[in-house]
Structure 1
């Protein structure tokens, strides 16, 4: 039994270690990831909570680094109130009560850590797992594409009536400021909701305005989405999602957002079977809830890196553990550029309801993309064999490229051009193999035994054929008896396998024709002829004379 545990530990350690090497390499080459991120948060230990926060925060409050805070139950920051958090502060979410921290409409959260002293939201369990606590929720009065305002009520258990007004979001604003999240880590959040709607998210931004700052935020091990954006027009910069069970970045219900410098590490063995992706852009979950007279979701995304942390990419693709990295729903506008997607099947899918006519595809721009080790680039959901979208986005105008097994990056347009040229060349070669080309027009004659390496292939072929005829010639007895003489013109093909086929004779006497054919049939198999470097079928002809000098 001890050996069994040892094997499990060694395998587990080797997997974790290999991932840390990959992530360490990325951190090393990406300046903005350095120092403040943590890809192994379970190894960290913090002080026991010294302060408990519960219920409603109704006056401006500041949390200090010298204390460790415990959120208990659903904690709300009321409208008109600001919660400020000092750099380096640790806030724990209570596992037993599945704690949440909600910043209501009109409230602000100022959580501005530093590169060397990030603010950390984490679980209070000693052995932490995704979904230990609820997560961080910011609600604003930004625009939605729904009918009227919306509510988060379904995500809270046993919510007291006095808090009902604090969980509404949405309105007509675009510039409201819900605060600052900068150099912040959110770990092990995303508890399961108390309805069928799924899970909470590590960071949920609903109806948030564009004066809100979301920069240098890392969400790790979320049981729900890492970043969920509903409506509003908030922008994200320098953000990381690590090993989420659900989506890494989800945009929905009419959000108008920009995301710049984002990284998602997906781990297929921890992902939800519900269809988890690095990036999901949708305008609705249910069509009947949406006002289609309003603008749908619009996302401008650049400098993204989506990485699949799989032990065996090909095997996991075959087993169905790995699916698409990006999902784009109907009634959306997306600009995705200067980004890399590695190890997915395929890289991007469009909702099957999206019309793939050229005019409609102008709403979905994919440029300067690099697809590494992906099985398919751009496909339609439930129709992965359709190449229409692949062909469209392979156009040289978009400068999309691919790479396999760490080989140099190649433009898809160039690869497709090479593939087309190769296909045409193969067709031409096949055509040439099926049409017998005259001996005079070929460049390299068939190579008979003894002609190997001879630069004068045609002369050698002729000489060997004559020598073959001479050594195998027999004057038919019946022809001698009947004093038959003459010349037989014989023609034959050497096919693309080097075999003599299609022998034809023309002479005055059948018995002489038959003898000429017999001789040619005895020719050995040879290397086929070539023209322009391609194997071809060749036709050759010569006369064989029958002269009985004894007559």
Structure 2
């Protein structure tokens, strides 16, 4: 008991000296105006325009219309799809409405704080649920870790539009800003589900910021190769992973939050971040870049007090993948990071970089994939020079307001 009191006092003293420097930050609450944590309560207008087939020339979707995406709509032939602020696009359930930006084309979906762009279900408010429609897919020609440097999307059966990958780190697939994506991730066969947002070989001129993805039936965001950064992202109540990385992606996530429900999970062990460098070892190219993820001022939390439920580890880090964590807050998980067994051989765990972060109300810091404690790893990371702080404050006392039904504000108190 004495050690816990000392540890708690250390956290309180530290937090008073460095208030608001960990987790999401901002002079004001950047959730205001454009987010919605109760999307079932919104009555959207019925569609009066249908999007179907291929868009092969520059096209603008206007705020004055509501659009229904039927089947897979391809933006192709280097076309640019522009979406005005305040526009609503609804995905059709029966045809698994999906919007795909193919390699070489762009989406310019730049909403505003008061007029976000909304992608949502076409079902009535009371019937909406995760997996009502497909989602949004962007494909580019940035590098991927795979022999040959290119791959084909298993979400896309049309061979004209399925390839992604190349050598262009600075490729540009467009802009997503002040955008909400709700109730996406429909299954397309018993083993494959779409995601809220899928990025395949997207390059670093692509801008993705102020995007809220809610109630995805699979991952909120799946990122396959490429070189793309994120800021001011919100992943809310995904059924599978919030960010799922693979194929050598190079990515930084800044000032973003993951809000999990402890009882929303699938049977594949859902995590906030699942980080891998290859889908299958036989596809891995050791001459290409391995997955490297940087997290700055990211908050990861379960949204109910004193329960971990089905969601166990906040982060899963696989062999040949790397992570750098700085000024983050992780609250309410069984394990902070589950390391692949090869990371626990010798001193391999020292390749993991964690600095200046707060781990609150987690049963363990580092474990293996079976959630057994990795004691030598824990001891090393608790050294003072790592600035890793643990506490048992609890989410009801850690944040300004963690009630998602009442104007949530997940900045530290």
Q: Does the 8 A contact of 1:27 with 1:33 survive in 2?
A: no
Q: Find the partner of 1:330 among 306, 309, 319.
A: 319
* Aligned 1:420-431 pairs, distance under 5 A: none
Post-superposition offset of 1:195 = 5.4
The 8 Å contact of residues 155 and 195 in structure 1, kept in 2 or not, is answered as no
Q: Structure 2 residue aligned with 1:387, among 375, 378, 390? A: 375
| Alignment partners' CA distance in 1, 2:245 and 2:332 | 22
Which of the pair is proportionally richer in strand?
A: 2
Query: SS of the counterpart of 2:255?
Result: strand
Partner of 2:131: 131
> 1:293: Cα distance to partner?
2.0
* Partner Cα separation in structure 2 for residue 63 and residue 167 of structure 1: 24
State the TM-score, normalized to the length of structure 1: 0.65
User: Structure 1 222/325 Cα, relative in aligned 2: closer, same or farther at 3 Å?
Assistant: same
Q: Within 2, Cα distance between the matches of 1:276 and 1:188?
A: 17
- Listed as ranges, the matches of 1:295-314 within 5 Å are 295-310=289-304, 312-313=306-307
Using the alignment, how far apart are the partners of 1:253 and 1:30 within structure 2?
36
Q: Are 2:46 and 1:48 equivalent residues in the alignment? A: yes
Matches within 5 A, 1:189-268: 189-194=184-189, 196=191, 198-268=192-262
Looking at structure 2, the residues matched to 271 and 355 of structure 1 have their Cα atoms a distance apart, in angstroms, of 27
Which residue in 2 is equivalent to 1:354? 343
Q: CA deviation at 1:310?
A: 3.1
1:112 matched to 2:110? The reply is: yes
Partner SS, residue 238 of structure 2: coil
Q: Map of 1:356-435 to 2, 5 A cutoff? A: 356-358=345-347, 360-382=348-370, 384-406=372-394
* 1:177 alignment partner, one of 172, 175, 181: 172
Which of residues 68, 71, 76 in structure 2 aligns to 1:70? 68
- Could you tell me which runs of 5 or more consecutive residues in structure 1 were left unpaired when the two chains were aligned: 1-25, 410-551
8 Å contact 1:93–1:99 — kept in the other structure? yes
Question: Is 1:274 the equivalent of 2:268?
Answer: yes
The alpha-carbon deviation at position 323 of structure 1 amounts to 0.5
Greater relative contact order structure (CA < 8 Å, 6+ sep): 2
CA apart distance, 1:29: 8.3
- Would you say how many aligned residue pairs link Structure 1 and Structure 2? 371
1:164 and 2:159 are equivalent in the alignment: yes
How big is each residue's C-alpha offset from its partner over 1:247-294, in whole Å with a ceiling of 9 and x where there is no partner? 011111100111101111111212112110011111112111111221
Deviation at 1:362, TM superposition (A): 4.0
Equivalents in 1 of 2:345, 2:360: separation in Å?
A: 24
Kindly state the Cα deviation for residue 353 of structure 1 after the two structures are TM-superposed: 2.2
Q: Does the 8 Å contact 1:332/1:363 carry over to 2?
A: no
SS in 2 for 1:353: helix
> For 1:49 and 1:90, how far apart are their aligned partners in 2?
9
Task: Give unpaired runs (5+ residues) of structure 2.
Answer: 1-23, 399-413
SS of residue in 2 equivalent to 1:301? strand
Q: Distance in 2 between matches of 1:313 and 1:91?
A: 36
Query: Which residue is 1:417 aligned to?
Result: none
Matched with 1:186 is 181
User: In the aligned structure 2, how far is the partner of 1:287 from the partner of 1:327?
Assistant: 17
Structure showing greater radius of gyration is 1
